[in-house]
Amino acid sequence: MYPLKFKPIYKERLWGGTKLKDLLGKEAKGDAIGESWELSAVDGDISEVVNGALKGTTLTQLIKTHQEKLLGDAVYNRFGNDFPVLIKFIDAKKDLSIQLHPNDELAKKRHNSFGKTEMWYIMQADENAELIVGFNKNVSRTEYVEHMNNNALEKILNYEKVKEGDTFFINTGKVHAIGGGIVLAEIQQTSDITYRVYDWNRKDKDGNTRELHTELALEAIDYEKKDDFKVNYQQEKNKVNTMVDCPYFTTNYLNIEKSQTFNIEKRDSFSIYLCVDGVAEIANEHGVEKIKRGETILISAVTKEVKINAFSQAKLLEVYI
């Protein structure tokens, strides 16, 4: 159970661009690649190992074979053979649709799926780039529908300008959209359930508008204005800086200079490392693997220690359950 790297799964999107290739060095082909799924067990998009003796093995095959050794006892007892998180890098050349995600209860009832709580770490942002996160005031369901019907939804939305390093936690039910000119890392529950409520009246290459989920969204939306989305976190070097700690995942910020060793024996969970800047080597008792900006590594739950050797300096996001 050496450090595992996986083949990225590229997604062409109406709003995508070329920064995954130009900025992160991805081997994505095309001028509208919006997403690189780094670690996925979503049906139809299962990640595959690309390094070492397990090359060619899928994530689902690994889980079925190694179970608690890969996931951890507590994680396996909770999720079984379902991998609970989905890791992506996203390039928004243009604005994404305004959307939201249902909570666990509603997603289970309607789609037999997990809900979709997620977080974003901004890796690059053009000048004046911004996100939409929540409402700018408390709104009623009736008021929301009125704005929707009058094509005036933008008037009640909250806009946030962003820069590199900014981090946002997106609860289920919160309306949101990634604005154009942003590259980010996304950590989320394993779910592909999205309710699109507004898409700027744009059309695809065939002249068709994309499906909206207006009625499905009404019951799922959180209509209250909440300032609970901007994540404030420490950035101490060579320390574990907690960013998000929620029932679905914990994410830490690691700013490593030279070499650091972390004991994770009591974690009882797999660990994921996303490199958001720099280059490093990540080693456990069974092997070592190089990681650079825009790459992801999975470490098994049986790992006792993780050693991170930065090539001058590296910034990583560490994710576990």
Provide the 8-state DSSP code for 48.
B
- CATH number, domain 241-320, options 1.20.990.10, 3.30.1280.10, 3.30.230.10, 2.60.120.10: 2.60.120.10
Give the separation between CA 284 and CA 307, rounded to whole angstroms.
6
CB 49 within 8 A of CB 57: yes
Residue tagged 């190992």 (tokens): 49
Residue-averaged pLDDT of the chain: 95
| Average pLDDT of the segment spanning 183-188 | 98
Q: Across the chain, where does the E strand assignment appear?
A: 9-17, 33-39, 41-42, 45-46, 85-92, 98-100, 118-125, 130-135, 157-161, 167-170, 176-178, 182-189, 195-198, 241-245, 250-263, 271-284, 287-292, 296-299, 305-320
Give the separation between CA 87 and CA 273, rounded to whole angstroms.
10
| Average pLDDT of the segment spanning 191-204 | 87
pLDDT at 316 over 90: yes
Q: What percent of the chain lies above the pLDDT cut of 90?
A: 90
pLDDT at 204 over 80: no
Q: Which CATH class is domain 9-220?
A: mainly beta
Give the separation between CA 274 and CA 11, rounded to whole angstroms.
19
24-79 pLDDT, tens per residue? 999 999 999 999 999 999 999 999 999 999 999 999 999 999 999 999 999 999 99
For CA atoms 46, 188, 116, 80, give the dihedral sign: positive
146-173 pLDDT, tens per residue? 999 999 999 999 999 999 999 999 999 9
| Average pLDDT of the segment spanning 305-320 | 96
Distance, CA of 58 to chain centre: 20
pLDDT at 23 over 80: yes
266-303 pLDDT, tens per residue? 999 999 999 999 999 999 999 999 999 999 999 999 99
Global pTM value: 0.94
Residues annotated as part of the active site = 196
Distance, CA of 264 to chain centre: 22
Confidence of residue 113 (pLDDT cuts 50, 70, 90): confident
The domain limits of the chain are 9-220, 241-320
218-265 pLDDT, tens per residue? 999 999 999 999 999 999 999 999 999 999 999 999 999 989 999 999
Q: Same CATH fold, 241-320 and 9-220?
A: yes
pLDDT at 104 over 90: no
